[in-house]
Protein backbone atom coordinates (compact mmCIF):
# COMPACT_ATOMS: atom_id res chain seq x y z
CA UNK A 1 0.00 0.00 0.00
CA UNK A 2 1.63 3.21 -1.11
CA UNK A 3 0.75 6.16 1.03
CA UNK A 4 3.94 8.12 0.45
CA UNK A 5 2.90 11.29 -1.22
CA UNK A 6 4.25 14.38 0.49
CA UNK A 7 7.84 15.34 1.15
CA UNK A 8 7.43 13.83 4.58
CA UNK A 9 6.09 10.66 3.09
CA UNK A 10 2.99 11.33 5.11
CA UNK A 11 -0.12 11.87 3.12
CA UNK A 12 -2.83 12.61 5.68
CA UNK A 13 -4.68 9.40 6.38
CA UNK A 14 -8.42 9.27 6.44
CA UNK A 15 -9.70 8.71 9.97
CA UNK A 16 -11.82 5.67 9.19
CA UNK A 17 -9.02 4.16 7.14
CA UNK A 18 -6.68 4.69 10.06
CA UNK A 19 -9.06 2.97 12.48
CA UNK A 20 -9.50 0.10 10.07
CA UNK A 21 -5.74 -0.32 9.86
CA UNK A 22 -5.38 -0.11 13.64
CA UNK A 23 -7.98 -2.85 14.05
CA UNK A 24 -6.12 -5.04 11.60
CA UNK A 25 -2.75 -4.22 13.15
CA UNK A 26 -4.15 -5.38 16.48
CA UNK A 27 -4.46 -8.79 14.87
CA UNK A 28 -0.85 -8.44 13.71
CA UNK A 29 -1.79 -7.92 10.11
CA UNK A 30 1.52 -7.18 8.40
CA UNK A 31 0.06 -5.09 5.58
CA UNK A 32 -1.85 -2.89 8.01
CA UNK A 33 1.27 -2.37 10.07
CA UNK A 34 3.23 -1.56 6.96
CA UNK A 35 0.65 1.03 5.94
CA UNK A 36 0.66 2.64 9.38
CA UNK A 37 4.44 2.73 9.49
CA UNK A 38 4.75 4.21 6.01
CA UNK A 39 2.13 6.81 6.75
CA UNK A 40 3.85 8.04 9.90
CA UNK A 41 7.52 7.11 9.85
CA UNK A 42 8.95 10.15 8.09
CA UNK A 43 6.99 12.65 10.13
CA UNK A 44 7.95 10.92 13.34
CA UNK A 45 11.55 10.58 12.27
CA UNK A 46 11.79 14.26 11.35
CA UNK A 47 10.64 15.14 14.85
CA UNK A 48 12.91 12.73 16.69
CA UNK A 49 15.86 13.56 14.46
CA UNK A 50 15.52 17.22 15.31
CA UNK A 51 15.35 16.33 18.99
CA UNK A 52 18.59 14.31 18.80
CA UNK A 53 20.37 15.33 15.62
CA UNK A 54 21.68 11.83 15.43
CA UNK A 55 20.45 9.52 12.71
CA UNK A 56 21.17 6.30 14.55
CA UNK A 57 19.49 7.37 17.79
CA UNK A 58 16.53 8.83 15.96
CA UNK A 59 15.99 5.69 13.92
CA UNK A 60 16.24 3.50 16.96
CA UNK A 61 13.76 5.64 18.87
CA UNK A 62 11.30 5.53 15.99
CA UNK A 63 11.58 1.75 15.79
CA UNK A 64 11.10 1.54 19.49
CA UNK A 65 8.07 3.82 19.40
CA UNK A 66 6.38 1.88 16.61
CA UNK A 67 6.97 -1.47 18.28
CA UNK A 68 5.66 -0.19 21.59
CA UNK A 69 2.65 1.32 19.90
CA UNK A 70 1.86 -1.94 18.09
CA UNK A 71 2.44 -4.03 21.19
CA UNK A 72 -0.02 -1.94 23.16
CA UNK A 73 -2.67 -1.32 20.51
CA UNK A 74 -5.29 -2.86 22.76
CA UNK A 75 -5.10 0.21 24.98
CA UNK A 76 -5.17 2.66 22.07
CA UNK A 77 -8.02 5.13 22.49
CA UNK A 78 -9.74 5.49 19.09
CA UNK A 79 -10.84 9.01 20.00
CA UNK A 80 -7.29 10.05 19.25
CA UNK A 81 -5.20 9.96 16.15
CA UNK A 82 -2.71 7.17 15.85
CA UNK A 83 -0.04 9.82 15.24
CA UNK A 84 -0.74 11.47 18.60
CA UNK A 85 -0.30 8.15 20.34
CA UNK A 86 2.87 7.44 18.41
CA UNK A 87 4.40 10.85 19.11
CA UNK A 88 3.54 10.49 22.80
CA UNK A 89 5.44 7.25 23.00
CA UNK A 90 8.32 8.59 20.93
CA UNK A 91 8.60 11.67 23.11
CA UNK A 92 8.84 9.51 26.21
CA UNK A 93 11.55 7.39 24.66
CA UNK A 94 13.31 10.51 23.47
CA UNK A 95 13.37 12.01 26.95
CA UNK A 96 14.67 8.82 28.44
CA UNK A 97 17.37 8.57 25.81
CA UNK A 98 18.42 12.17 26.40
CA UNK A 99 18.55 11.52 30.13
CA UNK A 100 20.60 8.40 29.74
CA UNK A 101 22.90 10.09 27.28
CA UNK A 102 23.43 12.87 29.70
CA UNK A 103 24.09 10.43 32.49
CA UNK A 104 26.75 8.74 30.38
CA UNK A 105 28.44 11.74 28.84
CA UNK A 106 28.10 14.12 31.75
CA UNK A 107 26.46 16.72 29.62
CA UNK A 108 24.79 17.19 26.29
CA UNK A 109 27.10 17.77 23.40
CA UNK A 110 25.46 20.79 21.89
CA UNK A 111 28.28 21.38 19.45
CA UNK A 112 27.28 18.23 17.61
CA UNK A 113 23.94 19.85 16.95
CA UNK A 114 25.47 22.67 14.97
CA UNK A 115 26.38 20.51 12.03
CA UNK A 116 23.25 21.03 10.04
CA UNK A 117 23.91 20.50 6.36
CA UNK A 118 22.05 22.89 4.13
CA UNK A 119 19.96 21.21 1.51
CA UNK A 120 21.42 22.48 -1.74
CA UNK A 121 18.21 21.99 -3.64
CA UNK A 122 16.31 24.30 -1.34
CA UNK A 123 19.05 26.72 -0.48
CA UNK A 124 20.22 27.89 -3.84
CA UNK A 125 18.27 31.14 -3.68
CA UNK A 126 19.32 32.16 -0.20
CA UNK A 127 22.31 34.35 0.36
CA UNK A 128 25.21 33.27 2.48
CA UNK A 129 23.98 35.47 5.31
CA UNK A 130 20.47 34.08 5.14
CA UNK A 131 21.91 30.61 5.36
CA UNK A 132 23.98 31.66 8.32
CA UNK A 133 20.92 33.00 10.09
CA UNK A 134 19.05 29.81 9.30
CA UNK A 135 21.91 27.84 10.76
CA UNK A 136 21.84 30.04 13.85
CA UNK A 137 18.11 29.51 14.17
CA UNK A 138 18.62 25.75 14.33
CA UNK A 139 21.49 26.11 16.74
CA UNK A 140 19.21 28.20 18.95
CA UNK A 141 16.42 25.63 18.71
CA UNK A 142 18.94 23.04 19.80
CA UNK A 143 19.71 25.13 22.87
CA UNK A 144 16.12 25.04 24.07
CA UNK A 145 15.18 22.58 26.79
CA UNK A 146 13.88 19.27 25.42
CA UNK A 147 10.29 20.18 26.25
CA UNK A 148 10.60 23.61 24.69
CA UNK A 149 12.28 22.13 21.63
CA UNK A 150 9.62 19.47 21.28
CA UNK A 151 6.91 22.09 21.61
CA UNK A 152 8.46 24.28 18.92
CA UNK A 153 8.92 21.34 16.55
CA UNK A 154 5.42 20.00 17.07
CA UNK A 155 3.84 23.44 16.84
CA UNK A 156 5.62 24.75 13.76
CA UNK A 157 6.82 21.74 11.84
CA UNK A 158 4.07 19.28 12.69
CA UNK A 159 1.41 21.98 12.75
CA UNK A 160 -0.11 20.68 15.96
CA UNK A 161 -2.25 22.74 18.31
CA UNK A 162 -1.36 23.26 21.97
CA UNK A 163 -3.97 20.70 22.97
CA UNK A 164 -2.42 17.90 20.93
CA UNK A 165 1.06 18.90 22.05
CA UNK A 166 -0.12 18.76 25.66
CA UNK A 167 -1.30 15.21 25.04
CA UNK A 168 2.04 14.22 23.58
CA UNK A 169 4.11 15.89 26.28
CA UNK A 170 1.70 14.58 28.94
CA UNK A 171 1.52 18.00 30.45
CA UNK A 172 -1.18 20.66 30.91
CA UNK A 173 -2.01 22.95 28.00
CA UNK A 174 -0.91 25.92 30.09
CA UNK A 175 2.54 24.35 30.37
CA UNK A 176 2.74 23.94 26.61
CA UNK A 177 1.87 27.61 26.16
CA UNK A 178 4.54 28.46 28.67
CA UNK A 179 7.07 26.28 26.80
CA UNK A 180 6.20 28.10 23.59
CA UNK A 181 6.46 31.49 25.24
CA UNK A 182 9.80 30.74 26.85
CA UNK A 183 11.11 29.16 23.68
CA UNK A 184 10.28 32.27 21.66
CA UNK A 185 11.80 34.50 24.30
CA UNK A 186 14.97 32.45 24.29
CA UNK A 187 15.15 32.35 20.50
CA UNK A 188 14.72 36.10 20.43
CA UNK A 189 17.47 36.59 23.02
CA UNK A 190 19.84 34.29 21.19
CA UNK A 191 19.14 35.47 17.67
CA UNK A 192 18.60 39.16 18.08
CA UNK A 193 22.31 39.95 18.65
CA UNK A 194 23.22 37.73 15.68
CA UNK A 195 20.86 39.62 13.42
CA UNK A 196 22.10 42.93 14.74
CA UNK A 197 25.60 42.10 13.55
CA UNK A 198 24.42 41.34 10.06
CA UNK A 199 24.14 44.09 7.56
CA UNK A 200 20.86 44.26 5.70
CA UNK A 201 18.93 42.36 8.34
CA UNK A 202 15.61 43.23 6.76
CA UNK A 203 16.63 41.74 3.45
CA UNK A 204 17.92 38.60 5.16
CA UNK A 205 14.69 38.17 7.09
CA UNK A 206 12.78 38.72 3.88
CA UNK A 207 14.76 35.99 2.16
CA UNK A 208 13.96 33.47 4.87
CA UNK A 209 10.35 34.49 5.32
CA UNK A 210 9.43 32.39 2.31
CA UNK B 1 2.07 51.07 24.10
CA UNK B 2 5.73 50.70 25.03
CA UNK B 3 8.22 48.07 23.87
CA UNK B 4 7.75 45.84 26.90
CA UNK B 5 3.99 45.77 26.44
CA UNK B 6 4.47 45.15 22.76
CA UNK B 7 6.84 42.23 23.33
CA UNK B 8 4.43 40.74 25.83
CA UNK B 9 1.88 40.53 23.04
CA UNK B 10 4.18 38.73 20.61
CA UNK B 11 2.74 35.34 21.57
CA UNK B 12 -0.81 36.49 21.07
CA UNK B 13 0.10 38.03 17.73
CA UNK B 14 2.01 34.96 16.52
CA UNK B 15 -0.86 32.71 17.58
CA UNK B 16 -3.41 34.91 15.82
CA UNK B 17 -5.27 35.63 19.02
CA UNK B 18 -4.69 39.36 19.13
CA UNK B 19 -7.92 41.24 18.44
CA UNK B 20 -9.70 44.54 18.99
CA UNK B 21 -8.09 47.73 20.17
CA UNK B 22 -5.11 45.82 21.52
CA UNK B 23 -4.39 44.59 18.01
CA UNK B 24 -4.67 48.13 16.68
CA UNK B 25 -2.35 49.51 19.34
CA UNK B 26 0.06 46.67 18.74
CA UNK B 27 0.06 47.35 15.01
CA UNK B 28 0.66 51.04 15.61
CA UNK B 29 3.63 50.27 17.82
CA UNK B 30 5.14 47.98 15.21
CA UNK B 31 4.86 50.71 12.61
CA UNK B 32 6.67 53.13 14.86
CA UNK B 33 9.22 50.83 16.49
CA UNK B 34 11.88 49.24 14.31
CA UNK B 35 13.24 47.28 17.27
CA UNK B 36 9.99 45.41 17.97
CA UNK B 37 9.33 45.07 14.27
CA UNK B 38 12.65 43.36 13.76
CA UNK B 39 12.24 41.04 16.76
CA UNK B 40 8.78 40.07 15.64
CA UNK B 41 9.99 39.42 12.10
CA UNK B 42 12.81 37.34 13.54
CA UNK B 43 10.38 35.14 15.45
CA UNK B 44 8.16 34.78 12.41
CA UNK B 45 11.14 33.75 10.34
CA UNK B 46 12.31 31.30 13.00
CA UNK B 47 8.85 29.72 12.94
CA UNK B 48 8.93 29.59 9.18
CA UNK B 49 12.37 27.99 9.11
CA UNK B 50 11.22 25.28 11.52
CA UNK B 51 7.96 24.79 9.64
CA UNK B 52 9.66 24.36 6.28
CA UNK B 53 12.36 22.07 7.59
CA UNK B 54 13.03 19.09 5.38
CA UNK B 55 16.58 18.27 6.28
CA UNK B 56 15.83 15.03 8.07
CA UNK B 57 17.13 12.08 6.06
CA UNK B 58 14.50 9.88 4.51
CA UNK B 59 13.79 6.49 5.99
CA UNK B 60 13.87 3.77 3.39
CA UNK B 61 11.59 0.81 2.75
CA UNK B 62 14.04 -1.38 4.59
CA UNK B 63 13.09 0.44 7.79
CA UNK B 64 9.46 -0.47 7.29
CA UNK B 65 10.18 -4.05 6.37
CA UNK B 66 12.40 -4.59 9.38
CA UNK B 67 9.81 -3.12 11.68
CA UNK B 68 6.97 -5.17 10.26
CA UNK B 69 9.06 -8.27 10.66
CA UNK B 70 9.81 -7.42 14.28
CA UNK B 71 6.25 -6.51 15.08
CA UNK B 72 4.77 -9.65 13.58
CA UNK B 73 7.40 -12.12 14.74
CA UNK B 74 7.64 -10.94 18.30
CA UNK B 75 10.55 -9.99 20.49
CA UNK B 76 12.47 -13.19 19.98
CA UNK B 77 13.39 -12.24 16.43
CA UNK B 78 14.18 -8.59 17.01
CA UNK B 79 17.28 -7.81 15.00
CA UNK B 80 17.31 -4.26 16.31
CA UNK B 81 19.13 -2.88 19.24
CA UNK B 82 16.96 -2.43 22.28
CA UNK B 83 19.54 -1.60 24.84
CA UNK B 84 17.06 0.53 26.72
CA UNK B 85 14.59 -2.26 27.33
CA UNK B 86 15.17 -2.81 31.01
CA UNK B 87 11.83 -4.04 32.13
CA UNK B 88 11.68 -3.59 35.85
CA UNK B 89 8.42 -5.30 36.47
CA UNK B 90 5.37 -3.38 37.49
CA UNK B 91 4.80 -4.74 40.97
CA UNK B 92 8.35 -3.96 41.95
CA UNK B 93 8.22 -0.51 40.43
CA UNK B 94 4.90 0.14 42.06
CA UNK B 95 6.21 -0.96 45.41
CA UNK B 96 9.34 1.14 45.03
CA UNK B 97 7.30 4.14 44.06
CA UNK B 98 4.90 3.79 46.93
CA UNK B 99 7.76 3.24 49.31
CA UNK B 100 9.14 6.57 48.20
CA UNK B 101 5.82 8.28 48.68
CA UNK B 102 5.33 6.84 52.12
CA UNK B 103 8.89 7.72 52.92
CA UNK B 104 8.49 11.28 51.67
CA UNK B 105 5.14 11.70 53.30
CA UNK B 106 5.97 10.00 56.54
CA UNK B 107 8.10 12.75 57.95
CA UNK B 108 6.85 16.00 59.26
CA UNK B 109 7.09 18.53 56.46
CA UNK B 110 8.26 21.17 58.93
CA UNK B 111 11.60 19.37 58.98
CA UNK B 112 12.43 20.90 55.64
CA UNK B 113 12.93 24.31 57.18
CA UNK B 114 15.25 22.92 59.78
CA UNK B 115 18.77 22.59 58.37
CA UNK B 116 19.77 20.08 61.01
CA UNK B 117 16.93 17.79 60.14
CA UNK B 118 17.03 18.35 56.43
CA UNK B 119 20.70 17.40 56.12
CA UNK B 120 20.44 13.68 56.79
CA UNK B 121 17.16 13.46 54.89
CA UNK B 122 18.82 14.80 51.77
CA UNK B 123 21.59 12.24 52.01
CA UNK B 124 18.99 9.55 52.47
CA UNK B 125 17.27 10.55 49.32
CA UNK B 126 20.47 10.48 47.33
CA UNK B 127 21.18 7.02 48.58
CA UNK B 128 17.68 5.79 48.00
CA UNK B 129 16.79 7.40 44.71
CA UNK B 130 20.18 7.96 43.12
CA UNK B 131 18.81 9.97 40.24
CA UNK B 132 15.75 11.85 39.35
CA UNK B 133 15.02 9.71 36.36
CA UNK B 134 15.01 6.45 38.23
CA UNK B 135 12.24 7.78 40.38
CA UNK B 136 10.44 9.23 37.39
CA UNK B 137 10.55 5.89 35.64
CA UNK B 138 9.05 4.28 38.69
CA UNK B 139 6.36 6.89 38.89
CA UNK B 140 5.53 6.48 35.20
CA UNK B 141 5.32 2.74 35.60
CA UNK B 142 3.02 3.20 38.55
CA UNK B 143 0.95 5.74 36.63
CA UNK B 144 0.37 3.28 33.86
CA UNK B 145 -1.24 1.02 36.43
CA UNK B 146 -3.15 3.74 38.20
CA UNK B 147 -3.58 6.58 35.71
CA UNK B 148 -5.97 8.52 37.91
CA UNK B 149 -3.67 8.81 40.86
CA UNK B 150 -3.31 12.53 41.41
CA UNK B 151 -0.27 12.23 43.66
CA UNK B 152 1.59 10.25 41.06
CA UNK B 153 0.69 12.69 38.31
CA UNK B 154 1.87 15.56 40.40
CA UNK B 155 5.03 13.75 41.32
CA UNK B 156 5.72 12.89 37.68
CA UNK B 157 5.22 16.50 36.61
CA UNK B 158 7.66 17.70 39.20
CA UNK B 159 10.23 15.07 38.40
CA UNK B 160 9.88 15.74 34.71
CA UNK B 161 10.36 19.45 35.26
CA UNK B 162 13.39 18.67 37.35
CA UNK B 163 14.80 16.40 34.70
CA UNK B 164 14.24 19.09 32.13
CA UNK B 165 16.36 21.36 34.22
CA UNK B 166 19.01 18.74 34.62
CA UNK B 167 19.15 17.94 30.93
CA UNK B 168 19.18 21.57 29.94
CA UNK B 169 21.90 22.30 32.42
CA UNK B 170 25.53 21.97 31.57
CA UNK B 171 26.89 21.89 35.06
CA UNK B 172 28.64 18.79 36.25
CA UNK B 173 26.80 15.90 37.81
CA UNK B 174 27.86 16.50 41.37
CA UNK B 175 26.48 19.99 41.58
CA UNK B 176 23.31 18.83 39.89
CA UNK B 177 22.75 16.25 42.54
CA UNK B 178 23.21 18.90 45.17
CA UNK B 179 20.74 21.06 43.40
CA UNK B 180 18.33 18.16 43.20
CA UNK B 181 18.58 17.63 46.91
CA UNK B 182 18.09 21.24 47.83
CA UNK B 183 15.15 22.14 45.63
CA UNK B 184 13.29 19.11 44.42
CA UNK B 185 13.07 17.30 47.70
CA UNK B 186 11.54 20.26 49.46
CA UNK B 187 9.00 20.46 46.71
CA UNK B 188 8.27 16.77 46.78
CA UNK B 189 8.14 16.44 50.52
CA UNK B 190 5.93 19.46 50.73
CA UNK B 191 3.41 18.36 48.17
CA UNK B 192 3.35 14.64 48.81
CA UNK B 193 3.21 14.80 52.55
CA UNK B 194 0.45 17.38 52.44
CA UNK B 195 -1.66 15.21 50.18
CA UNK B 196 -0.90 11.91 51.82
CA UNK B 197 -2.45 13.17 55.04
CA UNK B 198 -5.85 13.24 53.42
CA UNK B 199 -5.75 10.00 51.45
CA UNK B 200 -3.48 7.06 50.84
CA UNK B 201 -1.07 7.41 47.95
CA UNK B 202 -2.73 4.89 45.70
CA UNK B 203 -6.41 5.24 46.41
CA UNK B 204 -7.64 7.94 44.07
CA UNK B 205 -10.57 6.49 42.21
CA UNK B 206 -12.28 7.34 38.96
CA UNK B 207 -13.65 10.52 40.47
CA UNK B 208 -10.34 11.77 41.75
CA UNK B 209 -10.15 15.53 41.98
CA UNK B 210 -9.38 17.45 38.81
CA UNK B 211 -6.11 19.26 38.85
CA UNK B 212 -5.17 22.42 37.01
CA UNK B 213 -4.23 20.36 34.04
CA UNK B 214 -7.67 18.91 33.79
CA UNK B 215 -9.26 22.33 34.02
CA UNK B 216 -7.22 23.39 31.06
CA UNK B 217 -8.85 20.80 28.92
CA UNK B 218 -11.98 22.12 27.37
CA UNK B 219 -13.67 18.78 26.82
CA UNK B 220 -13.24 15.11 27.44
CA UNK B 221 -11.86 14.21 24.06
CA UNK B 222 -9.06 16.69 24.39
CA UNK B 223 -7.98 15.69 27.85
CA UNK B 224 -4.23 15.45 27.67
CA UNK B 225 -4.20 12.75 30.34
CA UNK B 226 -6.67 10.51 28.60
CA UNK B 227 -4.26 9.05 26.10
CA UNK B 228 -2.44 6.41 28.02
CA UNK B 229 0.40 5.14 25.91
CA UNK B 230 2.19 2.01 26.91
CA UNK B 231 4.74 2.30 29.62
CA UNK B 232 8.16 3.36 28.49
CA UNK B 233 9.74 -0.06 28.94
CA UNK B 234 7.47 -2.68 27.52
ZN1 LIG C 1 9.00 48.56 20.53
Taking all residues of chain B, what is their mean pLDDT, rounded to a whole number?
A: 60
A131: CA distance to ligand 1 center in Å? Answer: 27
Residues A138 and A98 in one domain: no
A107 and B172: CB-CB below 8 Å? Answer: yes
Q: Which among A61, A94, A116 is the end of a domain?
A: A116
pLDDT for position B109: 35
Distance CA A9, CA B178 (A): 46
Helix axis angle for B34-51 and A201-208, nearest 10°, is: 30
How many independent structural domains does chain A possess?
Answer: 2
Q: Which residues fall within 8 angstroms of residue A27, CB to CB, at 6 or more apart?
A: none
B7: CA distance to ligand 1 center in Å? Answer: 7
Share of residues in chain B with pLDDT > 90 (%): 26
Burial annotation A6-44 (CB, 10 A radius, 16+ → b, else e): eebbbeebeeeebeebbebbeeebeebbbbbbbbbbbbb
Residues A22 and A49 in one domain: yes
Residues A125 and A174 in one domain: yes
Question: Up-side HSE of residue B87: CA atoms within 13 Å toward CB?
Answer: 8
Q: Which residues fall within 8 angstroms of residue A97, CB to CB, at 6 or more apart?
A: A52, A57, A61, B84
The residues spanned by each domain of chain B are 3-51, 62-102, 107-233
CA-based nearest distance B148→chain A, Å: 13
Label residue B133 by pLDDT band (50, 70, 90).
low
pLDDT for position B105: 33
Query: Which residues of chain A make contact with B77, given a CB cutoff of 8 A?
Result: none
pLDDT for position B161: 65
Residues A102 and A126 in one domain: no
Residues A43 and A130 in one domain: no
Residues A12 and A90 in one domain: yes
A96: CA distance to ligand 1 center in Å? Answer: 41
Among A72-86, A122-136, B43-57, B166-180, the range scoring the smallest mean pLDDT is B166-180
pLDDT for position B149: 74
**Beta-carbon contacts below 8 Å between A and B:** 226
Share of residues in chain A with pLDDT > 70 (%): 82
Please, what is the Cα angle at A93 between A90 and A97, to 5 degrees?
Answer: 135
Nearest CA in chain B to A195: B42
Residues A73 and A169 in one domain: no
The string of pLDDT tens digits covering residues A171-204 is 999 999 999 999 999 999 999 998 888 878 888 8
- Which residues have CB less than 5 Å away from ligand 1 (the ion)? B 3, 6, 33, 36
Distance CA A36, CA A81 (A): 12
Higher-pLDDT residue of A200 and A46 is: A46
Q: Which whole-number Å values give the CA distances from B135 to B36, B140, B146, B167, in the listed order? A: 44, 9, 16, 15
Residues A22 and A64: beta-carbon distance below 8 Å? no
Higher-pLDDT residue of A11 and B56 is: B56
Share of residues in chain B with pLDDT > 70 (%): 37
Residues A32 and A124 in one domain: no
Would you say residue B98 has pLDDT above 60? no
Residues A100 and A52: beta-carbon distance below 8 Å? no
pLDDT for position B231: 53
Residues A90 and A179 in one domain: no
Would you say residue B195 has pLDDT above 70? no
The CATH number covering residue A73 comes to 1.10.1740.10
Query: Which residues of chain B make contact with A66, given a CB cutoff of 8 A?
Result: 67, 71
B131 in contact with A, Cβ within 8 Å: yes
pLDDT for position B63: 93
Q: Which of B156, B13, B163 is nearest to A97 (CA)?
A: B163
Residues A10 and A43: beta-carbon distance below 8 Å? yes
Label residue A44 by pLDDT band (50, 70, 90).
very high
B41 and A209: CB-CB below 8 Å? Answer: yes
Residues A51 and A124 in one domain: no
Q: Where are the alpha helices (DSSP H) in B107-131?
A: 115-129
The CATH number covering residue A200 comes to 1.10.10.10
Residues A69 and A83 in one domain: yes
Residue range(s) defining the domain that contains residue A112: 1-116
B171: CA distance to ligand 1 center in Å? Answer: 35
pLDDT for position A9: 47
Residues A91 and A7 in one domain: yes
Q: Which among A56, A86, A116 is the end of a domain?
A: A116
Rg (CA), chain A: 19
Taking all residues of chain A, what is their mean pLDDT, rounded to a whole number?
A: 84
B228 and A75: CB-CB below 8 Å? Answer: yes
pLDDT for position B74: 54
A106 and B173: CB-CB below 8 Å? Answer: yes
The string of pLDDT tens digits covering residues B70-93 is 888 754 444 443 333 333 333 343
Amino acid sequence: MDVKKSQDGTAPMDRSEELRLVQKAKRRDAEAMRALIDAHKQRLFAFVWRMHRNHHDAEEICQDAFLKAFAALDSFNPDYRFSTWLFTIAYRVTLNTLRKKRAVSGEMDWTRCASSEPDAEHEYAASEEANRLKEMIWQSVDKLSPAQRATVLLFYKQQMGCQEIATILETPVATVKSHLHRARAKLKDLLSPVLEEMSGSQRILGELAG
Amino acid sequence: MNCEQSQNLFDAYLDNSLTGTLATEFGAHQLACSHCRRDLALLEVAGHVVASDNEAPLLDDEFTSRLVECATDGPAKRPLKFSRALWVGLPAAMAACLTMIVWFGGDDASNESDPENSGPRVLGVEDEVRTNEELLENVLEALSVDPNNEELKDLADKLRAKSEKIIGDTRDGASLLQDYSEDAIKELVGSVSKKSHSRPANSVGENGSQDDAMQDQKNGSSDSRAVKPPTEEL
